[in-house]
Structure 1
Amino acid sequence: MNAVMQDDAPRKTMVNPAKVAVKQPVSDEQRRQVLDLRRRHSLREVAEATGLPLGTVKTLVSRSGAFRDNDQHRALFTLPPIKVSQETLPSVPELPPQEVVTGDKEVDAVLWLRSIINTGLAALIELAMEAAKRIKTSHDVLERRYRDYLTATNPGNPFAAMSSFGFADLELLASRAIEQHQLRLEGVARFDGDLLADTEADTFCIDALRGLEASGQFGDFDKSEVAARFSAHPELLPHTLADCLYELDYWNQLYRLRNAVDRDASDGPAEATARDWFVFSLLAEIRPRNKAEALAVFRYLIASQRDDMTESEAILCNLIG
């Protein structure tokens, strides 16, 4: 009986220590290599290149946080919130004075209506568009007559006639004027009227590139030097393509707000322009996390009309893998 019980008792399996796989620790150098490769390659490609298990690579990438949106970066490249203005506009805005400019009554009437529309005030624009209906001469004829006036009063200036393009298209002018007016109001509401002053993001760019000399026909900075300077501030680098698009949108919004106030100051400091192009180039280096992110970058290229830039082919190659 005892013998049977002993035979039925569970037996311990003896394991050969030589056959036990010992989990090797990952060195700091391997971690750096994994994160550096991941910016340009898929997880599987990184595993093959480093010789590490795919699961280990996934864990290292996930724990690093380097491929999640960078909150610190986004905090800097965010427009100030809109504040409610305490200023009030006059209840009945005044009309610009009507003047004799060309001597052609209809052309001068269009010039006056354009000055009203350029105020951007919806109430005045509505009155101007209603008055425009009383002008029966076609747009083409009015534009030709205004072009003849410009050519006659600016002899020898080949560009004078360009001011007549779209002269009588008041509907297009109205839509643009309203948009510009809204942007001016937004700029005041966000920046307390100090829109043309350097933002914190502008100041960061100026400090980061301090001492670099611009060169070339357009006064550009050397791209490799720009990249080195900005890369020296990893806490403010985009981690993802979504981060890149977020910052590029910041610079675009800031440009549009400034342009509505002063066209000559639209671009801001040259260092900010250099930052914009640096971030644009990162679209060719940072791997998309998913199809949605890749599609967002592709749509940005088309919408921003930057799809024909030098970097665009490399960006597209990065998106398709």
Structure 2
Amino acid sequence: MKQGVSEDQRARILDLRRRHSFLEVSQITGIPLGTVKTIVSRSGAFRDNEAHRALFCLPPMQVSSGTSPAVQELPPQQGVTGDRDVDALLWLREVIGTGHPGHIEAAMEAAKRIKTPFKQIEERYRQWLQAKHPNNMFAALSSFDLGNLESLAKSSVEKLAKQTEARSRFGDRIFSLTDAEVFCETALDGLEPVGDWDLDKAEVAGRFKARPDLMPNTLSDCIHELEYWGALYWLREACERHCGDPIREASARDWFVFDLLAQIRPRHKDEAKAVIRYMARSGRADHRKDCDRIIDNLIG
């Protein structure tokens, strides 16, 4: 190479490249543009990190008779409220809640034979709840959308599919710590929470950056990991409703990687589009301040 570049300069070039264009890095450092491009290319730091992706990855699906969903027996009919129509609708919702297509189809057909409008049934159930729980202002909310069986059927099928996937990937160890979670615990060992829960963001970033072998190199790496955390949470949630938040260290890692979406420059237009699609489907676009920083980074 025509111009000698020290290791400190190389490190600075790579750090700057995460937030600036090649030309900007050249102008900031005073190092020729061609040299900057060569250093970045040879470093491999801006190619997808395969070691990172291997760690933040769900176990492969294992198809066996033990992972296939067993057809559940129909839940017993019960006289919950004493109102025939209300109890019938409550039972049909239990049947649909099994998630099994045959049960759902039969329940939807049975629902057509209920002559009372579902809105009237919902109101009668609300009145029963209010009478039974007079001091609980939230009890009546249990009657909301009682007759929307189509929505319940869709969510029940999706839940059963996730339960099946969880069994296929994890067996009976869905709530055991994954290798990724163990890595996060180890990396952040000894950090004290700020307040009741959160860990100091600067300290978290320092700990994770000290493990460059498992850092996301690209925005694609970031999305890969963020989707891993999301999938892990929803598989667990399907198996046990309200399973709780992820462990503190995993949550800190998730937000650390999310913040990288506003720091790592997109390699091309398709990668920028992938970030925007992730923001839309994940619901994290609601974080306005973070969203603005990410957009500035993508179009910067």
Bin the TM-score by the shorter chain.
Answer: over 0.9
Structure 2 CA distance for partners of 1:90 and 1:79, relative to 1, 3 Å: closer
Once residues 31 and 170 of structure 1 are traced to their aligned partners in structure 2, the CA distance between those partners, rounded to angstroms, is 61
Once residues 78 and 45 of structure 2 are traced to their aligned partners in structure 1, the CA distance between those partners, rounded to angstroms, is 63
Once residues 298 and 198 of structure 2 are traced to their aligned partners in structure 1, the CA distance between those partners, rounded to angstroms, is 28
Report SS of the residue matched to 1:24.
Answer: coil
Once residues 141 and 195 of structure 2 are traced to their aligned partners in structure 1, the CA distance between those partners, rounded to angstroms, is 30
Q: TM-score, normalised to structure 1's length?
A: 0.89
2:126 corresponds to: 147
Residues 165-215 of structure 1 show CA distances to partners (whole Å, capped at 9, x for unaligned) of 111111111110010001000000000121011111111111111111223
Is 1:256–1:266's contact at 8 Å kept on the other side of the alignment?
Answer: no
- The one-letter amino acid paired with 1:270 is R
1:161 corresponds to: 140
Structure 2 CA distance for partners of 1:92 and 1:156, relative to 1, 3 Å: closer
State the 1:297 CA deviation.
0.8
Q: Matched residues, percent identical?
A: 57
Corresponding residue to 2:110 among 131, 134, 138 = 131
Q: Mean Cα displacement is larger for which, 310-319 or 71-80?
A: 310-319
Higher relative contact order (CA 8 A, sep 6+): 2
Once residues 46 and 123 of structure 1 are traced to their aligned partners in structure 2, the CA distance between those partners, rounded to angstroms, is 62
Task: Tell me, yes or no, if structure 1 residue 45 matches structure 2 residue 45.
Answer: no
Is 2:262–2:297's contact at 8 Å kept on the other side of the alignment?
Answer: yes
Task: Tell me, yes or no, if structure 1 residue 237 matches structure 2 residue 199.
Answer: no
1:267 corresponds to: 245
Once residues 92 and 193 of structure 1 are traced to their aligned partners in structure 2, the CA distance between those partners, rounded to angstroms, is 19
Corresponding residue to 1:220 among 198, 202, 205 = 198
Residues 231-252 of structure 1 show CA distances to partners (whole Å, capped at 9, x for unaligned) of 1111111000000000000011
Task: Tell me, yes or no, if structure 1 residue 175 matches structure 2 residue 154.
Answer: yes
Unaligned ranges ≥5, structure 1: 1-21
Once residues 238 and 303 of structure 1 are traced to their aligned partners in structure 2, the CA distance between those partners, rounded to angstroms, is 21
State the 1:40 CA deviation.
0.5
Report SS of the residue matched to 2:73.
Answer: coil
Unaligned ranges ≥5, structure 2: none
Residues 84-115 of structure 1 show CA distances to partners (whole Å, capped at 9, x for unaligned) of 12338798642111000001100000111111
Residues 241-285 of structure 1 show CA distances to partners (whole Å, capped at 9, x for unaligned) of 000000000011111100101123253312111111110000011
Task: Tell me, yes or no, if structure 1 residue 70 matches structure 2 residue 49.
Answer: yes
1:203 corresponds to: 182
Once residues 277 and 105 of structure 2 are traced to their aligned partners in structure 1, the CA distance between those partners, rounded to angstroms, is 35
- The one-letter amino acid paired with 2:8 is E
Task: Tell me, yes or no, if structure 1 residue 285 matches structure 2 residue 254.
Answer: no
Report SS of the residue matched to 1:193.
Answer: coil
Q: Mean Cα displacement is larger for which, 83-92 or 103-112?
A: 83-92
Aligned pair count reads 299
Residues 273-318 of structure 1 show CA distances to partners (whole Å, capped at 9, x for unaligned) of 1111110000011011111111111121122121131322111111
Residues 22-52 of structure 1 show CA distances to partners (whole Å, capped at 9, x for unaligned) of 9222221221111111010000101111111
Once residues 177 and 80 of structure 1 are traced to their aligned partners in structure 2, the CA distance between those partners, rounded to angstroms, is 24
2:274 corresponds to: 296
Q: TM-score, normalised to structure 2's length?
A: 0.95
* Displaced runs of 4 or more, over 4 A: 88-93
Q: Mean Cα displacement is larger for which, 58-67 or 92-101?
A: 92-101
1:248 corresponds to: 226
Is 1:198–1:268's contact at 8 Å kept on the other side of the alignment?
Answer: no
Residues 101-130 of structure 1 show CA distances to partners (whole Å, capped at 9, x for unaligned) of 001100000111111111111111111111
Is 2:69–2:164's contact at 8 Å kept on the other side of the alignment?
Answer: no
Once residues 203 and 137 of structure 1 are traced to their aligned partners in structure 2, the CA distance between those partners, rounded to angstroms, is 55
Once residues 204 and 69 of structure 2 are traced to their aligned partners in structure 1, the CA distance between those partners, rounded to angstroms, is 48
State the 1:61 CA deviation.
0.4
Higher gyration radius (CA): 1
Is 2:72–2:98's contact at 8 Å kept on the other side of the alignment?
Answer: no
Once residues 244 and 92 of structure 1 are traced to their aligned partners in structure 2, the CA distance between those partners, rounded to angstroms, is 39
